Structure 1
Amino acid sequence: MAARPRGICSYCGEEVAKQSIGKHLEKCAKREAAIDTATGKSETLFYLRAESAHTKAFFLDLEVRGSATLEDLDRYLRTIWLECCGHLSEFAYEAWEDTISPSRKVESVFKTQKEVTHLYDMGSTSETTLRMMAERKGAPTTEHPLVLMVRNKILEVSCEECENPARWLCSECMAEEGEWVVLCDDCLEPHGHMTDYSPVLLVNSPRLGMCGYDGPANPPY
């Protein structure tokens, strides 16, 4: 995994170090233009960072309407990151404890909490931390419940066999031995483990290699 994850700004396309994203968004001219030209009813908008609890190189920086519900967030996370087999999901103040109704408004939750947990699939569970980074008052820049501001740059990893850029994950090794084995095109067949479920193409999702997940990890809008 990359030691210092980076993100891509959805407004201007600039690549930014994860620790500098907040400062970048404050000065991003294209984001400022989107805010200046936004129309509609003003409301509280929450800057939330969705981050894989286990692989922090995966993150999404979102601006979410206070009037949106946790169900809106769940739907987005499923589409861009998680959905594979229609598993159950839930929100909680702490993982596996104190669940929160998905009908709750984002504003009512994050006015009193700085962080909540989202769990998808109670077997091979994907755990996502949702942390409030900031808030502002204004008109939303999109008609949707939320907007993707920054997404992590897809991980660049080397083949286990030859150190060329890898494109595949051996899900057999992941399932049977708990090992993250990534391979290039040339080393794929010699490695073996060629089944209906393995290997899987490397995609930008913390769900990679879990259950039946195979991407494509695209945002819904």
Structure 2
Amino acid sequence: MGSQMTKGHCYLCGAIVAKSGFVEHFDSKHLDGEKVDDQECVLLKVEDAEDKIYWLYLDIPLTSTLKTLDTFLREIWLECCGHMSAFYQHGGIEIGKSTKLEQLPVGSILFYEYDFGSMTELRITLLRTVSRPRQRKAVRLLARNLPLRFDCGQCGEEADFICCECDAMEEYPFLCEKCMESHEHECALPVVNSPRMGVCGYCGEYDVYEFPDNAEKEE
């Protein structure tokens, strides 16, 4: 995986940018003068709360609710079995999904939990307000980490599956399709670009946000 952990696609221009450098890239390449019909939004950084190798940058209108953000996060990263979810402030104080983004202080950090059994936890930072041209969808994906490569533990080729049983036993779980056919365990899930990979029944079938391979370019 290496350097891919800190790099991602800019979904506005196709550049490959460092996670730590995306805001500077966004400011220099994609901020135009504010126009009369622009939407006032908040710029968000969303990360896997545990290791942060999975990350997103988004903008969303200040008048949108956390329910809108919840729906987007389920689509791109989480939804498998219709599990419950919740947003929290520091200290474990739950925030209702009817809360509008404009009610939350810029600079604050939220925590989001999906599936209270086999939980996936995210960290959401409200970076600052921005304006953007009016969009058809409320949540605009600005950047996303590059898909991480995992090598097959048997042949060394790129892995297609994660063995859930090996993972539960803390053994190396990644296998290519060919090696999976002869593997001793049958319970496997696809390798996907999500912090929920290998959990519950997550297969990423609602994720329509993969960046086209032929469009990427190094900045």
TM-score (normalised: structure 2): 0.86
Offset of residue 132 of structure 1: 1.8
SS of 2:104's partner is helix
Pick from 138, 158, 161 the counterpart of residue 165 of structure 1: 158
| 8 Å contact from structure 1 (residues 62, 148) kept in 2 | yes
Offset of residue 41 of structure 1: 5.1
1:184 matched residue in structure 2: 176
Alpha-carbon distance in structure 2 between the residues aligned to 1:110 and 1:141: 23
**What one-letter code is carried by the residue in structure 1 that aligns with 2:89?**
Y
Alpha-carbon distance in structure 2 between the residues aligned to 1:164 and 1:38: 50
Offset of residue 6 of structure 1: 1.2
**What one-letter code is carried by the residue in structure 1 that aligns with 2:159?**
A
SS of 1:77's partner is helix
Pick from 164, 179, 189 the counterpart of residue 200 of structure 1: 189
Give 1:1-221 correspondences, 5 Å limit. 1-2=1-2, 4-28=5-29, 31-32=30-31, 35=32, 40=37, 42-43=39-40, 45-94=41-90, 97-111=92-106, 114-136=108-130, 138-175=131-168, 177-194=169-186, 198-216=187-205, 218-219=207-208
SS of 2:113's partner is strand
| 8 Å contact from structure 1 (residues 76, 219) kept in 2 | no
Structure 2: runs of 5 or more not aligned: 211-219
**What one-letter code is carried by the residue in structure 2 that aligns with 1:22?**
V
Structure 1: runs of 5 or more not aligned: none
TM-score (normalised: structure 1): 0.85
Aligned residue pair count:
209
| 8 Å contact from structure 2 (residues 38, 134) kept in 1 | no
Alpha-carbon distance in structure 2 between the residues aligned to 1:187 and 1:139: 47
Alpha-carbon distance in structure 2 between the residues aligned to 1:108 and 1:87: 26
